[in-house]
Chains A and B, each alone.
Chain A
Amino acid sequence: MSEKLSGFISANNVVLDLDAKDREDAIRQLAEILQKNGNVSNAAAFCQDVLEREAMTTTGIGNNIAIPHGKSAAVTETTMMFAKTTTPLEWQSLDGSKVNIIFLMAVAPQAKGNAHLKMLANLSGRLMDDDFVAAIKQAQTVEAVLKIIKK
Chain B
Amino acid sequence: MSKKIVAVTACIAGIAHTYMAAQNLKKYAKKEGYDIKVETQGAMGMENRLAQDEIDAADVVIFAVDTVVAEPDRFEGKPVLKVGTSEVVKDGKAAIDQAIALVN
Contact = CB atoms under 8 A, between A and B. Distances in A.
B16 A118 contact: no
B72 interface: no
B44 A121 contact: yes
Contact of B27 (A57, A59, A112, A128): A128
B13 interface: yes
Nearest to A114: B44
A3 interface: no
A62 B90 contact: yes
B64 to A, nearest CB: 12
A94 B89 contact: yes
Contacts, number: 74
Chain A: interface secondary structure? mixed
A107 B43 contact: yes
B16 A69 contact: yes
B12 interface: yes
A62 B89 contact: yes
A66 B13 CA distance: 15
Contacts of A53: 12-13
Contacts of B19: 121-122, 124-125
Interface of A: 53, 56-59, 61-62, 67, 69-71, 94-95, 105, 107, 111-114, 117-118, 120-122, 124-129
